[in-house]
Structure 1
Amino acid sequence: MSVLVVGLSHRTAPVALLERVSLSGDALVKLLHDVQQDDCVAEVMAVSTCNRVEVYAEVDRFHAAVTAVSERLSIHSGVPLEQLSNHLYVHYEDRAVEHLFSVGSGLDSMVLGEGQILGQVRSALKLAQEQGTLGPTLNELVQQSLRVGKRSHTETGIDRAGASLVGVGLTLAERVLGPIQGKRALVVGAGSMSALSAATLQRAGVTDIVVVNRTHDRAVRLAQTVGGRAAEFGDLARELAEADLVISCTGATDVVVTADMVTAREIFLLDLALPHDVDPAVRRLPGVTLVDLESMQDDGIDAETDDGGRAEAVAAVRGIVAEEVAAYLSAERAARVTPTVVALRSKAADVVEAELGRLTARLPELDGRARDEVTQTIRRVVDKLLHEPTVRVKQLAESPAGDHYAEALRELFNLDPKVPRAVGSIEKVDMDTGKEVGR
């Protein structure tokens, strides 16, 4: 089994297409189960955000799995496969691991180094766990990617090197409105991105913050965290008329802010939703400025220029990713040979027991003390003979061609190919005896 990634992101597809492919709720759940039903897929997880849609799967056949995942993405998004294929990327085995670790570290984000992706990957992991589409391989890989992402943000300046989408939006807002301190800000939505938006506004010195959400209680709770006030969703048009700066990210499937809600005057709207919250037609209104994910993409805000030590931070994170990928792959290759080593020791133990049984039959007069001494001697001899090759094969297995050593071991000792696979499904195995323990 190997890990496969099939996806598209802001780097390979326009926002309009990402908007069509992005899935959430029941649609995302259906995609997970549909992909897993394919006979070449064992495990599956999907990351679907405002600037990426990726399916991670453990598969046993590369080409068949790529076809299966691509077709499911097309079916569930409604985007024809021939149109979708032009924007898809595929990563497999080592490259899939490197990609996920880079994603978790913020190296592949629209805004370099943004920390939102860690929460998004964590949510994807939780959903797959709840739906039963995740197994030990992807679970360990994704958990490790979260640890790598946290390490990257802790040990480097990648957080400072790339501002969040909200921070970039506020910078653009100040170009239009001037200093935003003293301005009235309206936050539409009460999810994680809206909470980040409200907190960023507060840190920027905005004291007049209004939160509007379909579920009023959530709007109240968010407003209280930033010393603002909550308004009813039905009052959205009135609040828009009084706001200078609007940030919207509701997760709704339809437009929330329509053109007829917005008055022609100086107002800045930041639409961070996918699909769009704000009707693009508002751009035609005098004085109205609308910035959304598509315009941010067109402006190339993810360019890796050297301002603010960005190049140094990127280099540091890439070094961490490379180190962690090497460690993960080394451990994973070593784990692959473990079932073969256990199967070998198990076979040796069976041979010892058979020979001891034959000895007992031939020398029934052998007293218990002598029989115990002979038993221990034979077992020590076998253990010593097997120790060096089993230790060595585990060391060699950490190399890129490590699987070949396990293969050679199975061939040399005529191990049943089914035995290592059976042993591999056991949660815990005593490496000395080859017996299952702890279950």
Structure 2
Amino acid sequence: MTILVVGLSHRSAPVAMLERAAATGDALNKLLHEVHESTHVAEALIVSTCNRVEVYAVVDKFHGGVSDISELLARHSGLPLDDLARHLYVHYEDRAVQHAFSVACGLESMVVGESQILGQMREAFKLAQTEGTVGRDLHELIQQSLRVGKRAHSETGVDQAGASLVSVGLNVAEGHLGELTGRRALVVGAGSMSGLAVATLARAGVGEIVVANRTYARAERLAAAAEVPARAIELTDLTAALAEADLVVSCTGAAGLVITAEQVPATGERRFFLDLALPHDVDPAVRTLPGVALAGLDDLRTAEEAAQAVGPRAVEAVRRIVAAEVAAFLNAARAAAVAPTVVALRSKAAEVVEAELTRLTGRLPALDERDRAEIAQTVRRVVDKLLHAPTVRVKELAAAPGGDTYAVALRELFDLDPKAPEAVARPDIEGPAS
């Protein structure tokens, strides 16, 4: 069984395709179970956000797993498999681990270093746990991914990329509106990007900030943290707020449009809309209104340009962390993989010892208990000493690439039952009824 990732993101697919592939609610649950129940998949977890849909799976066959998952993604999205396949990426074994860690660190995000992905991965893991589709292998992978992501954010400045992207957007806004000092700003959404927007708008000197969000309490908390006059409103009051705003920044996680052209009054005054969401929050038709300009993520910069804005040092530092953590994870996994074979070998040796001691008792019934115990202890000590060096060494060798071949060699040399290591590795397997 090995780990496989099949997915598409803003880097590999157009926005329209991502919108069709995205899964939420009942559709996400259904897709998760269909993947888990497919022929070659033992464990499954799906990360579905506004700019990526990725299936993490433990599979018994690479090609079979890729085929199963690709067909299910095509069926879910309603796209022809041939069309979808051109935009899918596939990572397997070591590359799958590296990809998971990179995603958690924000290196694969449109906004390099953004921290929202950690929460999204955590939610995907919780859902898979609740639905019973995740097992030991994916549990370990995702838990380690979350830990590595937290480490990258705490030890580097990679999360400054988000602030840089907002700053670029506001520079574009200044080109249309002129000086932002004293302007009225409306922020739609209350997530981490909205928080960055509020802080950056305050530094730019806007006169007032209005925060609108579906959950009023979150909008209220964000407004209270602003360093300029700010207030929160219900999302139902959005139309009235749009009529008063000079600058609108929208970054929600909604699946459809949040701001339509019909909601924006055609006053003729200069206004600027900055859409930082994917899928888009703002109806592209607002561009047709007199005096209104609109910029989206595609108009600002690519992830690579954002990385340059953060500075090569921060991004390179995260890449070094990912490389070191991947190596440590794989070494530990290889060492753990050989452990069941070692246990199975020692179990077989113990069975041989007990069988021989039983035979000795039958042949020499006159031995007293003290002599029999001394002989038994001596035989067990000899076997333990003979097995000690090779079993310790095989664990050390297993940590290196290709180390699993040593476990195979042990099974061949000592004629171990192929099912014995598997039974040791899966303590959850039900034993015989007592």
- Give your verdict on TM over 0.5: yes
TM-score, length-normalised on structure 2?
0.90
CA contact (8 A) 2:101 2:322 kept: yes
CA pair 391-142 structure 1, distance change in 2 beyond 3 A: same
> Hey, what's the Cα distance between the residues in 1 that align with 2:205 and 2:138?
42
Does residue 269 of structure 1 match 2:273? yes
Partner SS state of residue 134, structure 2: coil
Instruction: Note the 1:152-171 alignment, pairs <5 A.
Output: 152-160=152-160, 163=163, 165-171=165-171
Matching residue's letter, 2:260: T
> 2: CA distance between counterparts of 1:308 and 1:345?
57
- Paired AA for residue 277 in structure 1: D
Q: Which residue of 2 aligns with 1:319?
A: 320
- Report the more deviating stretch, 336-345 or 280-289: 280-289
Match of residue 87 from structure 2? 87
TM-superposed CA distance for 1:191, in Å, is 4.6
Residues 285 and 421 (structure 1), Cα distance of their counterparts in 2 relative to 1, 3 Å cut:
same
- Kindly indicate whether the alpha-carbon contact (under 8 Å) linking 1:114 and 1:164 is maintained by their aligned counterparts in 2: no
Q: Distance in 1 between matches of 2:381 and 2:358?
A: 17
Which 5+ residue runs of structure 2 have no aligned equivalent? none
1:241·1:263 contact (CA, 8 Å) conserved in 2? yes
Deviations 1:76-101 (A, max 9, x none): 12222222111111111111111111
Aligned pairs (5 A) from 1:19-418: 19-160=19-160, 163=163, 165-191=165-191, 193-202=193-202, 205-206=205-206, 208-226=208-226, 228-264=230-266, 265-296=269-300, 300-304=301-305, 310-418=311-419
- Residue 195 of structure 1, CA deviation: 4.6
Shift in Å at residue 408 of structure 1? 0.9
Secondary structure of residue in 2 paired with 1:20? helix
Which amino acid counterpart does residue 351 of structure 1 have in structure 2?
V
Superposed displacement of residue 148, structure 1: 1.8
Q: Distance in 2 between matches of 1:96 and 1:194?
A: 31
Asked if the contact 2:39–2:68 (Cα under 8 Å) also holds between the matched residues in 1, the reply is no
Q: Confirm or deny: 8 A CA contact 1:271 1:290 kept in the other structure.
A: yes
Measure the CA separation in 2 of the matches of 1:321 and 1:218. Answer: 33
Q: Does 1:15 align with 2:15?
A: yes
After superposing the two structures, state which structure 1 stretch, 192-201 or 120-129, moved more: 192-201
Cα distance in 1 between the residues matched to 2:399 and 2:101: 19
| Deviation of the 1:323 alpha carbon | 1.5
Superposed displacement of residue 203, structure 1: 5.6
Count matched residues: 426
Q: Taking structure 1 as the reference length, what is the TM-score of the superposition?
A: 0.89
CA distance, structure 1, for counterparts of residue 26 and residue 191 of structure 2: 18
Q: Runs of 5+ in structure 1 lacking a partner?
A: 429-435
Q: Distance in 2 between matches of 1:165 and 1:25?
A: 30
Is the 2:51–2:279 Cα contact (8 Å) retained in structure 1?
Answer: no
Is residue 237–residue 262 contact of structure 1 (8 Å, CA) maintained in 2?
yes
Q: Structure 1 residues 36, 291: closer, same or farther in 2, change over 3 A?
A: same
Q: How far 1:235 moved relative to its partner? A: 2.5
Kindly report the root-mean-square deviation, in angstroms, between the aligned alpha carbons of the 2 structures.
2.5
Equivalent pair of 1:14/1:294 in contact (CA under 8 Å) = no
Is the CA contact 2:112–2:307 (under 8 Å) kept in the aligned structure 1? no
Of the structure 1 ranges 409-418 and 150-159, higher mean CA displacement relative to structure 2 is found in 150-159
Structure 1 residues 72 and 164, CA, compared in 2 at 3 Å: closer, same or farther? farther
102-111 vs 84-93, greater mean Cα deviation: 102-111
**Counterpart residue type for residue 261 of structure 1:** Q
Q: Percent identity?
A: 65
CA distance in 2, matches of 1:358, 1:196: 77
